Chain A
Amino acid sequence: MSKGFCLLAQNNSTVDYIKQAYALAVSIHKFNKDQNVSLITNDEVPEQYKSVFDKIITIPWTDQAQETDWKIENRWKVYHASPYQHTIVMDVDMLVLHDITHWWDELKKRDLFFVSNVKNYRNEVITSRHYRKTFDENNLPNLYSGFYYFKKSETAHEFFKLLEIVMINWELFYGKFASNYYQKWCSMDLSCSIVSKILDNSLEITDPNSFITFTHMKPHLQSWHEVPTKWTTVLGSYLTNDKTMLIGNFLQRNILHYVEPEFLTDRIVDRLELL
């Protein structure tokens, strides 16, 4: 049975998401043996990036994110575009910093799995609800689409068919299912949570006690008293030759959702390549 990682990336006017996808793919390969990584994009992929992807796939159908900058509108298509029977989907502003090959065995027990607990850079479970007020106010499942898994299956197919409808008609669905603390933009996290609520399947597709998690670097999640706009302005990052990533002097042995594009300097990318 084929399995692999699928990454969707579309550059916008300010951020080179293809470069981020490349760095993520490099990190997956450096820390995990024999993994497949596919990139879904309509953008030009530089020649030097291509070797880390076993497939580069065109975004199916039309590009629904042509007019927008956040490029969220095509995310529901990953299920349909994935060449694998078992797929892990990750946001591209992430790095895999340890061996997660054993996660496949855990994930394969389900048709669909979303992370629902995340950690801060100190590896503490995040309890802050700063960015989750809409979820709490509307009793929505606490899903993080930064890392999720699906098996090509009837259950997953049903989920992503409904996700397409929710994301295309997000204002209608957010108004109906997330009217309290209304979010004025379409997001994958909120859309997936609404789909899960409609299908009433949150117990099947997530587990808050799961070891499958990632480190989320949004600043309000770091249990700081004085919260900066960006974590990169207040914490140093070091990637050493022995595969050690330190952020703010804390060892990172998780999946790192670094959020801020400026974190991914050429120096970090060079270091990743040399690991």
Chain B
Amino acid sequence: MTQGVLLFALNNKDVDYVKQAVFCAKKIKYHLRLPVALVTDNRNYLTKHFPFFEKYIDQIIDIPEAHTNQTKRFLDGVYAIRKLPWKNHNRPDCYNLTPFDETIVLDADYIIGNDSLLNCFKLNQDFLIYRNPTDIASTLRKIQKFDRISDRSIDMWWATGFYFKKTPFMKMYFELVQHIKDNWPYYRLVYQIPHSTYRNDFSFSIAIHILRGFQLNPNWPITMPGNMYMASDADMLHSIDGDKLSFICDYTSSGGYYVGVTVEDVNVHVMNKFSLGREIDKDKEFAYE
């Protein structure tokens, strides 16, 4: 059985997901020592700007250039907002794209800080996915908006990180996710999702709810091993020092009041992609590869 990590990197004009993916792959190699495959629509950009990528990425999976009319509001702290194309439509294809029998799929902006994800391969499950992320500033604030896909709807599961085995059941699961994506205007109304933007977390959550028989079920799916820490896009990554990440976190509902938070040896979903990009550039080790 082959095992590995699958990453996606589809750049838009302002966010360099390829850079994030190479950085993410470097962390994966250090902590998990697993093969990494990168799905991208711009191999040339990768090879030109990150000629050292082969140290961290074992396989490139080319897909046609992604075009989308879909946009998303990206925050860089509370006050800087940019509306940019959001190319997130390939995630349901991961069953067909992955070269591995057992695959961990991660967002490129997920920074690995320990080896807890290796336990995915020991749990004898077809599917593992994150459920309740830990807010890095959880002692200061309560982010309720991530508990369900909307206040009156179903539990939220995070496509940021999941593990699957290639089994007929998981094939069916991803086909269902694809069906939900293809019929997004219908499903988002049925599941009371206010925004029209397609989001993988939502389609994955809906598919889970349907396959659970429209019920809460503590037995399936099992959550990914270890914690997924999360910094919102209103927070700013301030520095990367090895496995120590320092953030400036917005901690009020009105916004604009910040406190410093440092985490170490944990896996963190850095939702502020701009600050992540800036800090990767500053990371000396990475810059002089």
Contact = CB atoms under 8 A, between A and B. Distances in A.
B253 interface: no
A246 B216 CA distance: 13
Interface string A203-229: 000000000000000000010111000
Interface in B113-164: 144, 151-154
A234 B215 CA distance: 19
Contacts of B190: 236, 249
A251 to B, nearest CB: 4
Interface in A229-266: 234-236, 246, 248-251, 253
Question: Secondary structure of the A side of the interface?
Answer: loop
A82 B151 CA distance: 43
B191 interface: yes
Contact of A251 (B151, B192, B215): B215
Interface in A35-80: none
Contact of B151 (A123, A124, A225, A253): A225
A246 B209 CA distance: 12
B214 interface: yes
A225 B153 contact: no
Given A224-B152, A226-B151, A123 B216 contact: yes
A3 interface: no
Residue of A122, A225, A236, A249 contacting most chain B CB atoms (<10 Å): A249
Contacts of B152: 222, 224, 234-235, 248
Contacts of A234: 152, 192
Nearest to B144: A225
Nearest to A246: B214
Contacts of B216: 122-124, 250
B151 A249 contact: no
Contact of B214 (A224, A235, A249): A249
Interface in B173-222: 190-192, 209, 213-216
B214 to A, nearest CB: 4
Nearest to B155: A122
Contacts of B151: 224-226
A236 B187 CA distance: 13
Contacts of A253: 215
Contacts of A225: 144, 151
Contacts of B192: 234, 248
A150 to B, nearest CB: 32
A39 to B, nearest CB: 33
Contacts of B215: 123, 250-251, 253
Contacts of A224: 151-152
B213 A248 contact: no
A83 to B, nearest CB: 37
B180 to A, nearest CB: 13
Interface string B256-274: 0000000000000000000
A226 B209 CA distance: 22
Contacts of A248: 152-153, 192
Contacts of A226: 151
Contacts of B144: 225
Contacts of B209: 249
Contacts of B213: 251
Contact of B191 (A122, A123, A249): A249
Nearest to A124: B216
Nearest to A253: B215
A234 to B, nearest CB: 5
Contacts of A235: 152
**Which of A122, A123, A235, A253 has the most chain B CB atoms closer than 10 A to its own CB?**
A122
A246 B210 CA distance: 12
Interface in A71-104: none
A184 to B, nearest CB: 31
B8 to A, nearest CB: 28
A237 B112 CA distance: 43
A114 B258 CA distance: 52
Nearest to A226: B151
Nearest to A250: B214
Given A248-B152, A248-B153, 12 more contacts: A122-B216, A123-B216, A222-B152, A225-B151, A226-B151, A246-B214, A249-B190, A249-B209, A250-B216, A251-B213, A251-B215, A253-B215
18 contacts: A122-B216, A123-B215, A123-B216, A222-B152, A225-B144, A234-B152, A235-B152, A236-B190, A246-B214, A248-B152, A248-B192, A249-B153, A249-B190, A249-B191, A249-B209, A249-B214, A250-B154, A250-B216
Interface of A: 122-124, 222, 224-226, 234-236, 246, 248-251, 253
Closest 5 CB pairs of A and B: A251-B214, A251-B215, A225-B151, A224-B151, A234-B152
Interface of B: 144, 151-154, 190-192, 209, 213-216
